Structure 1
Amino acid sequence: MKDMLRYSWYQEKFSLSKQVNGFLYYLRKIPFIGKSIPETVYHSYKVKSSLFYLFTILSIPFRFLAKFFWLTLYVGTAHITINLATGAEPLSLPLQPQSFLLGFAIWISLTGVLFRFSKGFESVISQSNREFLVNFKLSQRLFLHSQLLVEPIIHSLAYLPALMILSGLAHQWLILPVGLLALPTAQLAGYACNFWFFKRRTFITNWSWQNWALLLPGMTFAILAFFKRDALNTAFLLVLLIIQIPIFLMSLRSVLAFHQITEYFNFRMEESLALDKKIFQMKQGNEYTRQGLKMQEKLSLDKQEDLTHLTGMNYLNALLFQRYHTILAKGLKKRLLFLLLVPTLFATIAFFAHEPLKLPEEGLIALLPFTLMIMYAGSLGKQITQMVFVNCDIAMLHYPFYREPKTILAGFNYRFLQILKFNSVFASALFLIIMLIGHFHYSWHIILLTAYLILSMTFLFSFHDLFIYYILQPFTKDMEIVNPLYRILSGALYWLAYLNTQLKIASLLYILGLSIGISLYVGIGYLILLKKAPKTFRLK
């Protein structure tokens, strides 16, 4: 235990020393003041030592204050939520004892179960921890145990004053032991489960479906706490405490008995380096080509269909989309999954509220302008446009036959239809979800108007990025942007979608006008493209 405490203190000194160096660096950047601070200050042990102890002393009250802030935020959120659910004024005072207990339960759900338990499954070691571990050639076992035992206990002790006050305000003294045990128990349990999987060669990496699934217990506990808030009492806290103690002891025993430390650290180091590489790749190129480059990295040639019956541009484009179909389909599935969270949330609320939730026509009309932002987020238009440039056009535009008017227009039409196919799936799902939330009890003209708006948006988001790409073709052979107008028009759809979330116009005429305006833009834009694209679709 002494060695673990020593490691934690060394790490704290290492972190604060870096903060001192950063503080001195930015202090020297301040006009007038910076000139009076010599560069040799970095070598002055006395100055840096004094600042280190000053930072150490100041960090202690700030830690306590931060914990007060977070618990206050959770209690305030619980109070506002209860008031909204009961029809009272959201900010009405005084706070009820139920608000304190619900806030505490949400804190356990999110900070304990969701964050700390998930922390046990982290496959990546932070850059600062890697530097500390490698530069000082530390024992991996002692470093891991200091992270497992000392770090969460220190965080829990920082909550001590806030938990004492909260337990007094709620008149529930069991809040104190339950709160102090919550963080170390959740983190130890997370590591114990992760080690169990690791010994059985099941590796849980960042962004895997297993990693996302870890969010469910915390979210479920928070939702249950809200709907069953009347059951939050002394018995609830006592049950939590009785559950926590054996989980803490069993998890501690399991963690201390884990002996594959070196193999475990090698796995985490490999994952960390892979993440560093991914971040480096994300910084390559620019925002207008980055998605295309990422798709190029992910490309794997699976079993391909026979395309020998096609010729010319049809064959070239069909081959391109066939190769990237798996990646595009995966992107579409992710978007559909996030979209399906909306009806799932509605169904969950309806289940616990014991009454069906239905979106009235007035609510639907007010909601429709927001669907532009949903379609913007779900569209594959920008991603596919980048794909065709990075993986095809940047090479093919050097050849004269590829710049012929007939070839250019055939390529645009094929690509537009492919984007339309992908976006139509997302748009259809959006339309069905809207109708399901309203139980299909809308008047026929509302249904037709909703369908027209979503159809026009599908064409808009399938057309716009490809259209401005063909009309302006702003890229050089080095993938640099040389046309500033392209940057403006590329962001135009976002601002159109954002503006519609802010206007809050609940009018059928506005929805109809918006749909007609979008249809005119696509129609007129296509006529412009027929005339201009053969002249402008060139490498700059």
Structure 2
Amino acid sequence: MIRTFTNTYKFSFVQGANTFIYFIKRIPLIGKKVPESFYSKTKAKITLGIIFEIMSFLFGFIKKAVYIGVMIALPALYLSKESGNLQEVALQIFFILSFILGPIINTTFMPRDEKPFNMIRLMRVDAKKYFISEMVYTRILAFIHFTPMMMVLFSPVKGLILTFEFILIRFIWEFIHLFVFSRFNKMISNMDIFIGTLVIICPLLAYVPLFFHVNIGFHRWIYDYRIIILLFLLSVLSLRYIFKYKRFKDISKIICTKDNILEKQKLVKDVQFKDVEINEKKIKVEDLNSNIYENKQGYEYLNAIFFKRYKKLLSKSSKYIIIGSLIVTIVAIGFVLWKPSDKGGIIDFFKNKTSSWIFVMYFLSTTERICKAMFFNCDISLLRYGYYRQREAIFSNFKSRLKRVVVFNILPALVICCCIIFILIASGDPKAILELSYLFLSIIALACFFSIHHLAIYYIIQPYTANLEVKSPLFRGINTVMYVVCYMCSGIDSSSYMFSIGVIIFTVIYMIIALTLVYKLAPKTFRLK
């Protein structure tokens, strides 16, 4: 068993080192200095492998912190404002999501990656030894990564107890998965209808009752020593069953097939680009008429045809944003008319929380989806030709697309501004419309900024491959940094006037920098990978 774990870890170590080298080679400027021989150099590879393992281990804490923070702590803070029972609310959410939903949809014996195939089929590792060693290792890591955040959210003692119980529950559910497979020859995690229903019901059970101040009262018994002993005994019996289980080979035959791996890879690719794929049979005849753009030339002509033909696809997100904005506006106006005493709070929000629109407009930007659509439906074919990658062609194409992308983002921004005006009128303070004119300008400027940002990143990095995959660490890194920066900016306190002026100036400066970088770098980076 220990030898199997060691071999599995060595394989993962080498695979991690290779992945790390691959990502480094994809970083502009730095990547060119990394030779192909790094894949075979033992010392360099070991060093990079160690760095990758350390980063993966530390990233485990971040992932658990994000899960606890976003899914449990933040909702609990909001839902316990009136009652003040933060820990009880957080426990109720954690119990349903982590003690029930998580173990059912995520089992060690039905993983969703290629690792079992590589180890059992390619490396000829014994299926039973592999699955058991993987289960134990995964649970140890989970205990290490979960404990700090659980101790912070609850208390050192309660957090430790809950994490311990969480691991025990996981062992019990692993037994249930194997028992069901043994009796019915089916894995629970593969029952799509059951899992889909559970994914909908469990979050509803976790959050909705708390909106109505319904507390199930898990805290009354979850910390009881008798419950801990009971879970411990059940987990011991579960582990006894798992260690004696004889059908691991049958499980490996189901999941460790080449067709299964290829199907999963295809599914990932399809999911990534499904939202920008268009059914050509549904394109209207008038959209195929290119004679209406006879007065245009070059890339203006190309983009006029493209945006006309795919207008329905490209404008889908904008339509959803507009519809959502109108619904929110109707609800807000209804609230103001129902509770006139609270209208001052709405007006103060628009006046004093102007910086929060950075985060809002970041999420509402449709440019990244448009870039994906342009690659999938146009650039993936044209990038095979040298003329399309020349500096002047790229820059001309970029400017032509930028104008159209800005329009797609400005329209929802204008609707949002109109919605704010209607809410202010309903609040009985039309004078505030003039005071917030700078806010309207900043919302439009932010729409322009994110249009420029995403399109420039697409041209400078071009993260998509010919196989319709995203394999650019720099692209993911920039998106993560942008998310964090936008979130942090949303907490800045400033007047609407100063905020708006700052946003407009920054947008203009950013546009100049983006145009310069696209002109300088895109001829080297805007290519098919």
Larger radius of gyration: 1
Q: Which has the higher contact order (CA 8 A, sep 6+)?
A: 2
TM superposition score normalised by structure 2: 0.50
Q: Report the TM-score, using the length of structure 1 for normalisation.
A: 0.49
